[in-house]
Amino acid sequence: MPKYIPPEQPKVMQVIDIAFIVVAIFVALWLPLKLGLAGVSKAIDKIENPTWESLGQNPTMVGFWEKLGYDPTTAHDIIQNKFHYTWDITTLLVMVVVVVGYFIFLFRASDKEYREVIDEKFGDKK
Amino acid sequence: MTDAAITTSPSTVAPGQRVSLLRVLGPAHVWALGVGIVLVGEYTGWNFAVDKGGSLAALIVCWFIGLLYTSVAMIDSEVTSTVAAAGGQYAQAKHIVGPLMAFNVALYLVFAYTMLEVSDAILVGDLIVTVAGTEGLERHAFVVLTIVVLAWLNYRGVLMTLNVNFVITAIAYVAIIILFFSVQPWSQGTVLKLGDLITPENALPYGWIGVLAAFHFGIWFYLGIEGTTQAAEEVRSPARSLPYGTMAGMITLLIGAAMTWYVCASLLPWEYLGFTFFPLFDAARATGSGFLETLLFWGTVLAAVASANGCINDAARAWFSLGRDRYLPTWFSAVHPKYRTPYRSILFLLPIALAFAFIADLNQAITFSILSGLLGYTFMSINIMMFRRKWPLGSIRRGYTHPFHPMPAIALLSICVITYFAVFLGYGSQLIAMTLFYIVVSIWFHFYRYKYVRRGDQFTMPWPKPIGY
Amino acid sequence: MWFTLSYVAWALSAVLAAWMLFDWFKTDTTYSEDVLTSSREGEIEAATEKHKL
């Protein structure tokens, strides 16, 4: 197999390539934040006039809370802030398809490129 | 010692001589790089697993994820002691799976480490602002200082960088040990109140779904230990130092994670433990000892600094390797003739880290890092199976051969699947967004960028032809 | 005091960043691009380790 000689890339295109990667990174990381997609369903289950007892804290726990400088009112938002684990099967399927599809494409395309590499590297000798 | 090493390195380059990274590191530096990056996870981050599923769930995932990372460390040691090149998993992927995979792996690494670096710097800034307690004081100055000083250190040479990392990592680790022994861990009830804090009602407040969800942040106990491989081109004897340093690091971390969980779960109510950003520091405060409080404050700062330092080192090496193979412009593959560091890569990643330190918050930065890490581990489990198939034992010389193959690879892949589900429970849309990003850049690379890459030259190991090609 | 410290932090960051930029400029103008990008993967590997049994 003849040796593959890559074309020379002009300087300007190199800069554009880098700009593309950087923009893609920012879009991927920043956009979910801006669209408010990130994060979990966490909500505060409010209790009126909380006491340590109604917050379900035993005397030992109360001791540590107080050492850290909390009273029932300030601790309320921490203790009652709870997850609500719900999910729907559609989103899960979308995720599975995207991730699995990504890996399949990745390994297939890599294999194609890898064969060229091996052919060129080991082509003339056994 | 370190100064001498820097000044004795050739400052002028003779014509025709090549400028490469310096081979100056030993196993202790490998340990410092690996543990240095990870240890901050004991100081913050792992405790969000408590938030997701309760204290007991955090302990369960600590063990399971410990298993995952032991597999990672074993697999990595075998492959990297054989493929010893800067870029670590990137060079592994290039020789075993193929160029596109390698490109993706390098991006995972750059993402995981840069976001971790950002989290570390934010942590330092937040902690200083918390301790200062001054109205109107912003964290930005301290965040920027952390990132810039460490970039400078990295710019000036790898030996000094990792010597510093060794010292500060050791101090941060000793701080955990001191905390552990000063709360009389052998007698529950004196200082520690595990039995009162974890009751049958609150051990698993969300049941088993909470345990699954906790896998997400359980990763944080050990995330980054695989970074030891980035030093492959700079250690004196990669075949020996890398497995040794990585395994020693993993053992250090398993012990550290166990101590951290035990002390924190015995001193802080789980709701608080899952909420705080500084679990060990708060545990020290809960003991009421001023000495421990100061010690763990410095432990947190040093652990975060060590981590950011290692991350800059690793991300720059991965980026540098991409340039060297023309996956990105070769401009990035420059090595500083005097300091022998990939200086342009270090400088290029610096403003990116700074930008994210301003726009992201700690939780989000951590999640970005975890997602990229997770994609990387998925790759590693498949990679090792292909490695053993293409070059069976005995066909090439391996620095280290991991036992029980393919059990570690299968364990690793199964735990990755569980963790994907855990991520889905909290950050599913982010995972999809990130994967879409990787799909887009993969298409870009495969159909456009790859034409600038030399084919056969990418394969640099003096190995025989792989079986099946 | 903390505000003074934060100004010191800004100043120090600026100085170090400026030094790196200066050194970068100096290095890039002193050495040719061929020398700077002459590192090759696996070079030392091939010289020191033999992967034959």
Given CB atoms, is C44 within the 8 Å cutoff of chain B?
yes
- Chain B closest CA to A6's CA: distance in Å? 5
pLDDT confidence of residue A124: 60
Q: Which residue has the tokens 């850049």?
A: B441
**Partner-chain contact A24 B439, CB within 8 Å:** no
pLDDT confidence of residue B15: 56
pLDDT digits (tens, 9 = 90+) for B81-115: 898 888 899 999 999 999 999 999 999 999 899 99
Tokens found for residue A66: 């107080």
Amino acid letter, B390: K
Q: Where are the domains of chain A?
A: 42-84
User: For residue B325, which residues of chain C lie inside 8 Å, CB to CB?
Assistant: 41
Which domains are delineated in chain B?
24-457 (1.20.1740.10)
- Chain B closest CA to C51's CA: distance in Å? 5
Residue of B nearest to A84 (CA): B206
pLDDT of A39 over the 70 cut: no
What angle in degrees, to the nearest 10, is found between the helix axes of B99-132 and A89-122? 130
B206: phi then psi, degrees, rounded to nearest 5: -110, 10
Which subunits count as partners of chain A given 3+ CB pairs below 8 Å? B
The number of residues in chain C equals 53
**Partner-chain contact B430 A111, CB within 8 Å:** no
Q: Which of B304, B308, B306 is nearest to B166 (CA)?
A: B306
In a domain, C32, yes or no: yes
A 1-60: CB under 8 A from B: 3-7, 9, 14, 17-18, 20-22, 24-33, 37-40, 56-60
- pLDDT band at B5; cut points 50, 70, 90: very low
Q: What is the ipTM metric for this complex? A: 0.90
Query: Which structural domain range is residue C43 located in?
Result: 16-51
CB atoms within 10 A of CB B312: 27
Mean pLDDT of the B316-321 span? 95
pLDDT digits (tens, 9 = 90+) for C1-53: 899 999 999 999 999 999 999 999 999 999 999 999 998 887 654 444 444 44
- In angstroms, the CA B244 to CA B91 distance is 20
Strand, coil or helix: C53: coil
pLDDT digits (tens, 9 = 90+) for B287-309: 999 999 999 999 999 999 999 99
User: For residue C7, which residues of chain B lie inside 8 Å, CB to CB?
Assistant: 141
Is the separation of the CB atoms in B67 and B147 below 8 Å?
no
Residue B76: how many CA atoms within 13 Å on its side-chain side?
35
Closest partner CB to B432 (pick from A22, A24, A95): A95
Which subunits count as partners of chain C given 3+ CB pairs below 8 Å? B
Which subunits count as partners of chain B given 3+ CB pairs below 8 Å? A, C
pLDDT digits (tens, 9 = 90+) for A4-36: 899 988 999 999 999 999 998 888 777 777 776
pLDDT of B384 over the 90 cut: yes
User: For residue B17, which residues of chain C lie inside 8 Å, CB to CB?
Assistant: 35, 38
Strand, coil or helix: A82: strand
Task: Tell me the longest C-alpha to C-alpha distance in chain A.
Answer: 82
- In angstroms, the CA C11 to CA B363 distance is 29
**Partner-chain contact B193 A112, CB within 8 Å:** no
Is the separation of the CB atoms in B192 and B266 below 8 Å?
yes
pLDDT of B30 over the 90 cut: yes
Q: Which of C9, A42, A38, A48 is nearest to B366 (CA)?
A: A38
User: For residue C40, which residues of chain B lie inside 8 Å, CB to CB?
Assistant: 18, 20, 324, 460
The three-state DSSP-derived secondary structure of C9-42 is: HHHHHHHHHHHHHHHHHHHHHHCCHHHHCCCCCC
Q: For a pLDDT cut of 70, what percent of chain B falls above it?
A: 96
Mean pLDDT of the B313-337 span? 95
pLDDT digits (tens, 9 = 90+) for B328-376: 999 999 999 999 999 999 999 999 999 989 887 777 777 778 889 999 9
**Partner-chain contact A61 B196, CB within 8 Å:** yes
Domain count, chain C: 1
pLDDT digits (tens, 9 = 90+) for A73-98: 999 999 999 888 888 888 899 999 99
Identify the helix (H) or strand (E) that includes residue A81.
Answer: strand A81-83
Is the separation of the CB atoms in A73 and B206 below 8 Å?
no
pLDDT digits (tens, 9 = 90+) for B235-282: 998 888 999 999 999 999 999 999 999 999 999 999 999 999 999 999
- pLDDT band at B7; cut points 50, 70, 90: very low
Q: Chain-wide mean pLDDT for chain B?
A: 91
Strand, coil or helix: B83: coil
pLDDT of A37 over the 70 cut: no
> For residue B125, what are the contacts with CB-CB under 8 A and spacing of at least 6?
B139, B140, B141, B142, B143, B146
User: For residue B424, which residues of chain A lie inside 8 Å, CB to CB?
Assistant: 87, 91-92, 95
A 69-108: CB under 8 A from B: 70, 75, 78-79, 81-83, 85, 87, 91-92, 94-95, 98-99, 101-103, 105-107
- In angstroms, the CA A28 to CA B438 distance is 9
- In angstroms, the CA B102 to CA B95 distance is 9
Closest partner CB to B141 (pick from C6, C20, C35): C6
Torsion angle in degrees (nearest 10) through CA of B75, B81, B84, B88:
20
The answer, yes or no, to whether the previous bond of B403 is cis (omega within 30 of 0) is: no
> For residue C32, what are the contacts with CB-CB under 8 A and spacing of at least 6?
none
Q: Which of B75, B382, B29 is nearest to B232 (CA)?
A: B29
pLDDT confidence of residue C46: 47
- In angstroms, the CA B314 to CA B325 distance is 17
Given CB atoms, is A118 within the 8 Å cutoff of chain B?
yes
Q: Which residue has the tokens 């390195």?
A: B9
- pLDDT band at B4; cut points 50, 70, 90: very low
A82: phi then psi, degrees, rounded to nearest 5: -120, 150
- In angstroms, the CA B141 to CA A45 distance is 37
Amino acid letter, B23: R
